[in-house]
A and B are shown apart, each in its own frame.
Chain A
Amino acid sequence: MARYGMALDYKSCINCKACESACKEENGILLGADSHRIWVGVKEIEGVFPDLSIGSTSFEPSQCQQCDNAPCQEVCPTNATFYDDNGVVRVNPEQCILCTYCMQACPYDARYIDDRTMTVDKCNFCSDTRLINGETTTACQATCPTKVRIFGDLDDPESEISLVLKAREHHTLKTHLGTKPKLYYLT
Chain B
Amino acid sequence: MGGGIDSKGGIIFGKSLPLGEHRTTSPIYDNAQVRIEKDKAAVVGGNGSWIAWRNTIIDGTAPYPVRAFFAYKQNPMLSVPNTAKTKEMLEKMDLVVVIDTMPSDTVMMADVVLPESVYLEREDPVKTFGGAEPSIALRKKVVDAKYDTKPVIEIMRGLGEKLSKPLFEISKKYDEALQEELEDLTEEEVLAYYHDNGYDLANGFRHSQETINHHMVASVYGEEAWKTLREKGVFYPNMDKYFKKISVNTYQYYPEHKKSYSMIEGDLINEPYHDTCVDTKEISVLKKEFKTATKKIACVLSNLEKKQGVPSMPTWNDTLYTPTPEGKFKFITGRHGQFTQSATANNALLIDLLSENYLWINKRVANEKNIALGDLVEVESKIGKIEIKAYPTEKIGPNVLFFVHGFGAESSELTLAHHRGVNDNLIIEDQYEDTFGSAAMHETIVNIRRV
Question: Which residues of B, 372-404, contact A by the 8 Å Cβ criterion?
Answer: 393-398
| Chain B residues whose CB sits within 8 angstroms of the CB of A28 once the complex forms | none
| Chain B residues whose CB sits within 8 angstroms of the CB of A130 once the complex forms | none
CA distance A182 to B367 in the complex (A): 44
A151 B348 Cβ-Cβ under 8 A: no
| Chain A residues whose CB sits within 8 angstroms of the CB of B393 once the complex forms | 44-45
A141 B362 Cβ-Cβ under 8 A: no
Question: Which residues of B, 342-382, contact A by the 8 Å Cβ criterion?
Answer: 348-349, 351-353, 362, 364
A49 B394 Cβ-Cβ under 8 A: yes
B2 at the interface (CB under 8 A from A): no
- Beyond A31-B348, A31-B352, whether A49 also contacts B249 by CB under 8 A is no
B398 A17 Cβ-Cβ under 8 A: no
| Chain B residues whose CB sits within 8 angstroms of the CB of A25 once the complex forms | 349
A24 B395 Cβ-Cβ under 8 A: no
B397 A49 Cβ-Cβ under 8 A: yes
- Which residue, B249, B393, B397, has most C-beta atoms of chain A within 10 A? B249
- Which residue, A49, A52, A160, has most C-beta atoms of chain B within 10 A? A49
A31 B362 Cβ-Cβ under 8 A: no
B46 at the interface (CB under 8 A from A): no
B294 at the interface (CB under 8 A from A): no
B352 A50 Cβ-Cβ under 8 A: no
Question: Which residues of A, 44-90, contact B by the 8 Å Cβ criterion?
Answer: 44-45, 47-50, 52
| A38, chain B: closest CB distance, angstroms | 13
B247 A160 Cβ-Cβ under 8 A: yes
| Chain A residues whose CB sits within 8 angstroms of the CB of B396 once the complex forms | 49
* Chain A residue, CB-CB nearest to B395: A45
B348 A45 Cβ-Cβ under 8 A: no
| Chain A residues whose CB sits within 8 angstroms of the CB of B338 once the complex forms | 16-17
A32 B247 Cβ-Cβ under 8 A: no
A124 at the interface (CB under 8 A from B): no
CA distance A42 to B115 in the complex (A): 40
Picked from A21, A24, A50, A160, the residue with its CB within 8 Å of the CB of B397 is: A50
| B391, chain A: closest CB distance, angstroms | 10
| Chain B residues whose CB sits within 8 angstroms of the CB of A14 once the complex forms | 337
- Beyond A45-B395, A49-B396, A49-B397, whether A160 also contacts B353 by CB under 8 A is no
A150 B353 Cβ-Cβ under 8 A: no
A21 B248 Cβ-Cβ under 8 A: no
Mostly, the B contact residues are loop
B353 A21 Cβ-Cβ under 8 A: yes
CA distance A15 to B354 in the complex (A): 13
CA distance A25 to B394 in the complex (A): 34
Question: Which residues of A, 105-153, contact B by the 8 Å Cβ criterion?
Answer: 136-137, 141, 147, 149-152
A160 B248 Cβ-Cβ under 8 A: yes
* Chain A residue, CB-CB nearest to B351: A31
B248 A47 Cβ-Cβ under 8 A: no
| Chain B residues whose CB sits within 8 angstroms of the CB of A17 once the complex forms | 338, 353
B248 A151 Cβ-Cβ under 8 A: yes
CA distance A89 to B37 in the complex (A): 66
| Chain A residues whose CB sits within 8 angstroms of the CB of B248 once the complex forms | 136-137, 141, 150-152, 160
| Chain B residues whose CB sits within 8 angstroms of the CB of A16 once the complex forms | 337-338
B394 A52 Cβ-Cβ under 8 A: yes
CA distance A93 to B341 in the complex (A): 40
| Chain B residues whose CB sits within 8 angstroms of the CB of A52 once the complex forms | 394-395
| Chain A residues whose CB sits within 8 angstroms of the CB of B315 once the complex forms | none
CA distance A50 to B349 in the complex (A): 34
B250 at the interface (CB under 8 A from A): yes
| B254, chain A: closest CB distance, angstroms | 18
A47 B394 Cβ-Cβ under 8 A: yes
CA distance A49 to B402 in the complex (A): 15
| Chain B residues whose CB sits within 8 angstroms of the CB of A50 once the complex forms | 397
* Chain A residue, CB-CB nearest to B365: A49
Interface string of A159-180 (1 = CB under 8 A from B): 0100000000000000000000
| A162, chain B: closest CB distance, angstroms | 11
Picked from B249, B352, B364, the residue with its CB within 8 Å of the CB of A150 is: B249
B352 A49 Cβ-Cβ under 8 A: no
| B56, chain A: closest CB distance, angstroms | 41
A160 B395 Cβ-Cβ under 8 A: no
B residues at A contact (CB < 8 Å): 247-250, 337-338, 348-349, 351-353, 362, 364, 393-398
Q: Which 9 A-B pairs have the closest CB atoms?
A: A160-B247, A31-B352, A49-B394, A147-B249, A17-B353, A21-B349, A137-B248, A49-B397, A45-B395
Q: List 25 A-B contacts (CB under 8 A).
A: A14-B337, A15-B337, A17-B338, A20-B353, A21-B352, A21-B353, A24-B349, A24-B352, A31-B349, A31-B352, A44-B393, A44-B394, A47-B394, A48-B394, A49-B394, A49-B398, A52-B394, A52-B395, A136-B248, A141-B248, A147-B250, A149-B249, A150-B248, A152-B248, A160-B249
